[in-house]
Amino acid sequence: MSAITVEQLTKEFGDVTAVDELSFTVESGELFGLLGPNGAGKSTLIKMLVTLLRPTAGTATVNGHDIHDERSAVRDSLGIVFQEPALDEELTGAENLALHGRLYGQRTDERNRRIDEVLELIDLEDERDELVEHYSGGMKRRLEIGRGLMHEPSVLFLDEPTVGLDARARRDTWEYIQKMNAQSGISIVLTTHYIEEAEQLCDRVAIVDDGDIVALDSPAELKSSLGGDVVTLDLESDDSIPRLCDHLETASWVTDYTTAAGTAHVTLTRGESRIAELVHLADDADVRITSIDLHRPNLESVFLSVTGRTFDEREGDGAVAGTGTGKYEGEQHTASTDSPCHNDAAPSVERQQ
């Protein structure tokens, strides 16, 4: 049985479609990535899957439970780590885990067993009795991930798990995520806008843009689909783009190309050896190049190939749904009334210890 099945899932906020008829599956034990620029719809998708937002249309199952009709069962079977910190810094690491265990009704012996297991998994045994306010950023993030595992969920959602961490803490967190996936066999859905993070961690990656999945496969297959390196040419004039395109069409060694305002992204084989030929081709077209960049294939190259924009360009062009301002974001927050503590779906608290 698939860990997650999504069918035509859609979320609209007024005139804005934040998630547009998405369909995909996440296999049991898989580490599945949702990669895209900020505002692409990743977090909205996650909030629907964990029942914090009701879909406008479509449906999904999580661990076999329907997100419409079995909301409590969905919540009981998953763990989630949001972008925003949610630790009590006046408690110790162990006390934070114990509080989470109580919320999920774990009795004392079960709770203590899980605290020991989780602290070992996230390598915080020695810091278990330290106040969280004294933890580093990376330690806090590991504790948040560990807290999401306390009740032994079947599926764990990690929403931008390394945002705000320095490079060392980010790589340490990657190590713990991989270790957790390998040792527990838990299915993990990870959202990120970090290219390297998706390439390093994920078995498969869905590249998300403007509420839609534009590509889905393993990182290796996605990169190999490009057929070469990408050379970015910044041009002196937008008017020269049609002339350049005419000449690119005649070059057999050009696999593909996309253009934007003042820029051409050219995919070709053996990019480092073709740059001189590309410059000559531009000269023949009477096109003046102001700068050249060579990019080896990565997942951003895939995004560029299928959308015609880089991540930065996509975030800056004002076309991405949910950029964090205006009507969409406000409606997103007010729509999230079905929180995990909403009384019809909250996990029961074990009072008899």
Show the 3-state SS of the chain.
CCCEEEEEEEEEECCEEEEEEEEEEECCCCEEEEECCCCCCHHHHHHHHCCCCCCCEEEEEECCEECCCCHHHHHHCEEEECCCCCCCCCCEHHHHHHHHHHHCCCCHHHHHHHHHHHHHHCCCHHHCCCEHHHCCHHHHHHHHHHHHHCCCCCEEEEECCCCCCCHHHHHHHHHHHHHHHHHHCCEEEEEECCHHHHHHHCCEEEEEECCEEEEEECHHHHHHCCCCEEEEEEECCHHHHHHHHHHHCCCCCEEEEEEECCEEEEEECCHHHHHHHHHHHHHHCCCCEEEEEEECCCHHHHHHHHHCCCHHHHHHCCCCCCCCCHHHHHHHHHHCCCCCCCCCCCCCCCCCC
- Angle ∠(137,141,146) on CA atoms, nearest 5: 145
Give the whole-angstrom CA distance, residue 138 versus residue 124: 11
The residues with which 268 forms a beta bridge, in sequence order, are 229, 254
**From the CB of residue 238, how many other CB atoms can be counted at a distance below 10 Å?**
12
Token code pair at residue 31: 């580490």
The model carries a pTM of 0.74
Q: Which of 232, 236, 195, 213 lies closest to 45 in space, CA to CA? A: 213
The set of residues, in sequence order, having a beta carbon less than 8 Å from that of 235 and lying 6+ positions away, is 241, 244, 262, 263, 264, 287, 288, 289, 290
How much is the pLDDT for 296? 81
Q: In this structure, are residues 180 and 213 in contact, taking their beta carbons and an 8 Å threshold?
A: no
How much is the pLDDT for 82? 86
Q: Which of 216, 182, 219 lies closest to 202 in space, CA to CA? A: 219
Average pLDDT over residues 11-22: 95
Strand order in the sheet with 16-26: 16-26, 4-13, 57-62, 65-66
Arithmetic mean of pLDDT over the chain: 86
317: confidence class by pLDDT, cuts 50, 70, 90: low
Range ranked top by mean pLDDT from 25-29, 263-267, 271-275 = 25-29
Average pLDDT over residues 118-142: 93
Q: In this structure, are residues 86 and 98 in contact, taking their beta carbons and an 8 Å threshold?
A: no
Q: Which of 351, 294, 317, 307 lies closest to 103 in space, CA to CA? A: 351
Q: 46-55: per-residue pLDDT in tens?
A: 999 999 999 9
Q: Which residue has the higher pLDDT, 100 or 349?
A: 100
How much is the pLDDT for 172? 86
Domains, the chain, ranges and CATH? 4-218+322-335 (3.40.50.300), 227-296 (3.30.70.100)
How much is the pLDDT for 330? 30
Give the whole-angstrom CA distance, residue 209 versus residue 309: 10
Buried b (16+ CB within 10 A) or exposed e, 138-164: bbbbbbbbbbbbbbebbbbbbbbbbee
How much is the pLDDT for 347? 38
The residues with which 292 forms a beta bridge, in sequence order, are 233
Look up tokens 């006390």; give the residue: 95
* pLDDT at residue 199 greater than cutoff 90: yes
